[in-house]
A and B are shown apart, each in its own frame.
Chain A
Amino acid sequence: MIKHHPETKLLQSFSAGELPVSLSAAISIHVEMCPVCQQRCEEFTEQKAEQYFESAHVDDLAEPIQIDSNLLAMIDNITDDPTQAHVVEPTLNSVAVKGDEYQLPRALRSMSVGRFAGIGKVSRARIDLDEGEIHTSLLQIQPGGMIPEHTHKGFELTLLLDGEFSDDMGTYYPGDFIWLDGRHQHNPKTEQGCLCLTVVSDALHFTQGFGKLLNPFGSLLY
């Protein structure tokens, strides 16, 4: 049973396509597993579509509109191609670590996952997304393993994909979306083992360079 959800602002930014790929993928995975957030995202998407395409000050079908010659030429150009898009069922990727094999969710299927490496019961594989200070990884913890207590300067998102883990705030199950910022400390451990997607940023460097990309939800993070 999923108990931890992305907050409203994140769901809104996600629906509007304003988040980085890493966070968008994480929210997509949650939404696929969580009917509540799925419903909310559908609503946000509809609202956005209405705002863009149907608000009163926007031209509707009844109004003559200016279309320049470039746009006009585009119609010919597009309709020149008679073929229809051939949509295929996505093939899912899987990863293997220490004898366990996991099928990755659809949102991660085209991402390039590095090799698992780690110490003791904790293994990590980077997902190479080239997002500057935002690092995305798969984290596998073997049964009985734990991560030493740590704090964050920026944010840390943990999305539980498989298994369970607990910290002093409770037990988490697949689909749980756990968002922590610099104020939190935690000390997760797992009895049965788990696989998580983590997205971590370092706020120290956060304002430089990448700030622009994160503008839409920058206020959420500071």
Chain B
Amino acid sequence: MTQAGTILLQNQKSGLHNKVMTNDNNHQQLAAWLADVANNRDKAAFTGLFRFFAPKIQRIAHQQFSNESQASEVVQETMSNVWRKAHLYSPEKGAPTTWVYTIMRNVSFDMLRKMKSRKEDNFSEDIWPLVEADNVETEVYPDHLQQNQILAYLDKLPENQKQVVKGFYFLEMSQEQLARHLNLPLGTVKSRLRLALGKLKQQLTEQDMGERDD
């Protein structure tokens, strides 16, 4: 059994002794777990959050998408955002359940958008920003317009190259992480990345800005 599995079962057992937890207690416990994830990258705390949220998200998403694998994707995306963004949560701004709900809503919104249109765009965080402007760092991408253009061209790449470029540039994963994540040899990841970048570069030089209109 994995480490997470063991923790999971322990949590379930101890949970039985506390049948009458109120929402307030829930909030305190959930907020404490979020803080542990944020400050200590604590896997046990994350497992607690996961136990509380994942089955509920799965059920809600299943109702919304009527599809098991899409529902799992919503769980995966939402919970991995919780893991990676826990440091952005602050109890003064609201209940932890509300915060996780907004993450789930944003994930579903972007997924629904992808199903309805042919676009690979994520607008949810511009529409519902998760953090206020005063506690974020300054922009790292020097040229946002160019980044948008790259996103548009990215769409035209073959799926396997797209995956690698997105992981590398937009999720800021290392090539090693990507290889592990995609279950591919490191060499394959490197060569796909090289191929894809070559194509993107070519398209960026060919482009004529402001060309498109209707």
Contacts and interface: CB of A to CB of B under 8 A. Distances in A.
A90 B29 contact: no
Interface string A101-113: 0000011111110
B206 interface: no
Contact of A89 (B47, B76, B133): B133
A80 B4 CA distance: 11
Given A21-B123, A46-B95, A72-B2, A82 B141 contact: no
Main secondary structure of the interface of B (DSSP, over half): helix
A1 interface: no
Interface in A94-148: 106-112, 114-115, 117, 125-126, 128-131
Residue of A60, A106, A114, A117 contacting most chain B CB atoms (<10 Å): A60
A87 B118 CA distance: 27
B140 A28 contact: no
A167 interface: no
Given A61-B52, A65-B51, A78 B80 contact: yes
A81 B84 contact: yes
Nearest to A130: B117
Contact of B8 (A67, A89, A115): A67
A169 interface: no
Given A17-B106, A88-B139, A74 B152 contact: no
Contact of A28 (B83, B101, B127, B152): B127
Contact of A54 (B4, B50, B97, B213): B97
**Number of chain B interface residues as a range:** 35 or more
Contacts of B180: 80
B72 A126 contact: no
A49 interface: yes
Contacts of B119: 129-130
Nearest to A41: B128
A80 B80 CA distance: 10
A81 B126 CA distance: 25
B123 A112 contact: no
A62 interface: yes
Contacts of B12: 64-65
A129 B54 CA distance: 31
A73 B122 CA distance: 26
Given A88-B136, A110-B126, A126-B213, A75 B15 contact: no
20 contacts: A17-B128, A49-B95, A49-B102, A61-B25, A62-B20, A64-B15, A65-B12, A72-B2, A75-B2, A75-B4, A76-B3, A84-B86, A84-B87, A91-B139, A106-B129, A107-B127, A112-B212, A114-B214, A115-B210, A213-B116
